[in-house]
Amino acid sequence: MAVQWTEDLATGIERIDAQHQALYAEVAALHDAMRSNRLDLVPGVLDGLERYAREHFLTEEQVMVEHAFPRLAQHRVLHRAFVDELGRHRAQLAGRTTLSGVVGLSIWLGDWLREHLRKEDGLLAEYLRARR
């Protein structure tokens, strides 16, 4: 992931920005596992993605409530979709991690990142900056 994304999406709220960095590390680990054909590393990546979801979504939604962010409902839909889809991928890869399954996970994750981070988190960052 390009470092520019983190600069573009910096909210100024350290917890959210640090959690985005943790997500980028998981995405990089997924790509490294695919490139090196180390599919045994994928369950750890899935654990990291679940940890990100638990921590980040709660933190982000608390910030949105505190600052009366008008797109909270739309953001929650994306958060729920992430949890649901991650569960589907975990179930699919359980016991039989295949390269095609991991590629599917990577494609979905890239699409979700564009929608969530580039669009919704970008709007949140703009909103928070405007309120300062």
Instruction: Walk along the chain (132 residues) and give the pLDDT tens digit of each residue.
Output: 344 445 555 666 778 888 888 888 888 889 999 999 999 999 999 999 999 999 989 988 998 999 999 999 998 998 999 999 999 999 999 878 888 999 999 999 888 887 787 788 888 888 888 887
* Burial of 105 (C-beta count, 10 Å sphere; 0-12/13-18/19+): buried
Structural domains counted in the chain: 1
Is residue 5, in this structure, part of any structural domain at all? no
Is residue 2, in this structure, part of any structural domain at all? no
Which domain does 63 fall in, by range? 12-130
* Burial of 39 (C-beta count, 10 Å sphere; 0-12/13-18/19+): middle
Is residue 6, in this structure, part of any structural domain at all? no
The full length of the chain comes to: 132
- pLDDT for the residue 9: 56
Asked whether 124 and 72 are in contact (CB, 8 A), the reply is no
| Cα atoms in the Cβ-side hemisphere of radius 13 Å centred on 51 | 14
- pLDDT for the residue 96: 85
